[in-house]
Amino acid sequence: MPIFNLSEQVAVITGGGSGIGQSISEVFAQQGAEVHILEIDEVSGQETQDKIRKAGGSATVHSCDISRQSDVVDVAKRIFQQSGSIDIWINNAGVAHIGSAETTEEEDFDRIYAVNIKGVYNGVRACVPHMKQQGQGVILNMASVASVMGIADRFAYSASKGAVLTMTLSVAKDYVKDNIRCNCIGPGRVHTPFVDGFLKKNYPGQEDEMFDKLSQTQPIGRMGKPEEIAYLALYLCSKEAGFVTGSFYPIDGGFITLNS
């Protein structure tokens, strides 16, 4: 049996239609998982589903707003009834925001909370009963380097990602006796379509210059690739990581340790 094999594993990935989530969906499908993508953007979810199926993998997209608990619980229930298990749940979906406490409007803060914090809570609440019923499971949360470091103009975002880290620790402790592992990943800057869109919107005509500037904030000299995050997620959700729970894994090109 090859290592990091996810055959016969049912994996649910929130925000699995684009960026890091898309790479996780594709890598997990390549390793044999039955992938379920929860997406508010049905177009990107459908495109990822079709790409995985064309490559011979198993993928199904579900329209879902992770900030609405009833939506997430209902989708999880359907997946469990149809597939017989939920072995892996990845709380990947998230939104970003730039601003200090003074420049962050209340509606911006509420939006960050609804997706980045409540969305993770909703995912955990939806999958844990099924994992307890089947006697095992793995939960992986997407945190950030901002979970443990102060980053300028990231007030609401940093608060949300700090919450993701501490929720991870609580879930790991609460359910270790139920054979449920819970960990989180802390990426640094990763080159996704979001980065390109951000640069185009905020720095028209200076995209290349600003991309290089942002890349150099990682000591390694470049941004991460979505698939690099996906490979770490693969390890943490595989049987090979069976001794790992309650842990925070930075993947940041040296950002935390070499900038501290």
What domains are defined for the chain? 10-188+226-259 (3.40.50.720), 190-223 (no CATH)
Q: What is the pLDDT along the chain (260 residues), one digit of tens a residue?
A: 789 999 999 999 999 999 999 999 999 999 999 999 999 999 999 999 999 999 999 999 999 999 999 999 999 999 999 999 999 999 999 999 999 999 999 999 999 999 999 999 999 999 999 999 999 999 999 999 999 999 999 999 999 999 999 999 999 999 999 999 999 999 999 999 888 988 888 889 999 999 999 999 899 999 999 999 999 999 999 999 999 999 999 999 999 999 86
Other C-beta atoms lying within 10 Å of the C-beta of residue 100: 11
Bridge partners (DSSP) listed for residue 38: 14, 62
pLDDT in tens, 47-83: 999 999 999 999 999 999 999 999 999 999 999 999 9
Catalytic residue annotation: 157
pLDDT value for 197: 86
pLDDT value for 153: 93
pTM: 0.96
The closest alpha carbon to 171, from 223, 218, 124, belongs to: 124
Q: What beta strand segments (E) does the chain contain?
A: 10-14, 34-39, 58-63, 88-91, 137-142, 180-187, 248-251
pLDDT value for 260: 67
What's the distance, Cα to Cα, between the start and end of the chain in Å? 41
